[in-house]
Amino acid sequence: MASSGFVLLDKIAGETSFKALFPLKRVFCTKRVGHAGTLDLRASGLIIAATGRATRLLPYIEAKDKCYTFRLHLGYETDTLEWDGEVVEQDVRICHPGAEGDGNQCRNPLVTRAALEAVLPQFIGDIDQIPPKYCAVKIDGRRASDLMNRGRDVELKPRRIQIASLKVVDEGKVTDGCTGKCFATFDLECNCSKGTYIRSLGRDLARALGTFGCVSLIRRHRIGNVTVDRAVRGDQITKEHLIPVDQVLDFPVVRLNDDQVKAIRLGNWVPWRTPVENLSTEPGSERFVFAADKEGSVLALCHYEPGRIMPKFYLGEDD
């Protein structure tokens, strides 16, 4: 059986998340690979991939909060909500022949950094967000993006997301390939929950300012406590880049003796009287622990209840 664990990938822009996994299949000689949190084709940054039985842990990775940076283009909107899509809306204020500016950049004195920062608080906390029409959300079993590519328009329902923080970090930079004319560009950083679409966020920020918008240079820097500076490009992956699951997921680890390991492996619960530190205290949360052998190698994900540990699924290798 192939070794189980996580690999931290730094996906390049222009590569699908699915294609980013190909090197793992080759290096670890297995088809059992997966990832948590798909990135858009044009986005770059951190993907946490898994091999072997560790793929069963991916839902717990996907649920983690994330951090992105992106460039907001104000003044036009495209069908994909990306900077180089087909223009569907163009704010014509000042963007006309002879307007101040050059190329795809022109000016609107109403769209300033101060104006943008004034609307940011509207997007902090729990908000409803409509996903982009070109996305992986399924409608009657088909991806919305696939339906759009076949000429069918789609209507997507709002989804509840949470944005913990949103701030401007730079302004005035230019991205090549813009299909519309923008009044201004701003680089932002966003810490948010699972399910947040940065492209939709750019659209909604622009509309709050009374104009249109799209985004470029989306990059994911963090998933949970894992940052992209620990990640490697796909063509650099070796077997040494496989890391233990407890270095990514922060569930407490309990060490078992040989008899307890056998019981857990057979699907039986074991008595546990020792206090477990750092258990989740959130209301309604499952109190997970990793069960490890005497050497500290994680063998199973378990539920903790006062007085016992019950296996959820086995992660160790077969004998």
Q: What pLDDT, on the 0 to 100 scale, is given for residue 151?
A: 59
Reported as a single tens digit per residue, the pLDDT across 109-141 is 678 999 999 999 999 999 999 888 655 655 556
Q: Is 40 a catalytic residue?
A: yes
Confidence of residue 275 (pLDDT cuts 50, 70, 90): confident
Domains (range + CATH), the chain: 5-64+225-245 (3.30.2350.10), 69-216 (3.30.2350.10), 253-314 (2.30.130.10)
Reported as a single tens digit per residue, the pLDDT across 19-73 is 888 999 899 988 899 998 889 899 999 999 999 999 999 999 999 999 999 999 9
**Token code pair at residue 34:** 């997966």
Confidence of residue 1 (pLDDT cuts 50, 70, 90): very low
Of 40, 91, 102, 250, the active-site residue reads 40
Mean pLDDT over the full length of the chain: 88
Q: What pLDDT, on the 0 to 100 scale, is given for residue 155?
A: 66
Confidence of residue 149 (pLDDT cuts 50, 70, 90): low
Burial of 236 (0-12, 13-18, 19+ CB in 10 A): exposed
Reported as a single tens digit per residue, the pLDDT across 300-315 is 999 998 899 999 999 9
Burial of 208 (0-12, 13-18, 19+ CB in 10 A): middle
**Token code pair at residue 128:** 């409803």
Residue 74, H or E segment: strand 66-74
- Phi/psi-derived region of residue 54, left when phi > 0, alpha when psi is between -120 and 50, beta in every other case: alpha
Give 248's DSSP letter.
T
Confidence of residue 286 (pLDDT cuts 50, 70, 90): confident
For the entire predicted model, the pTM comes to 0.90
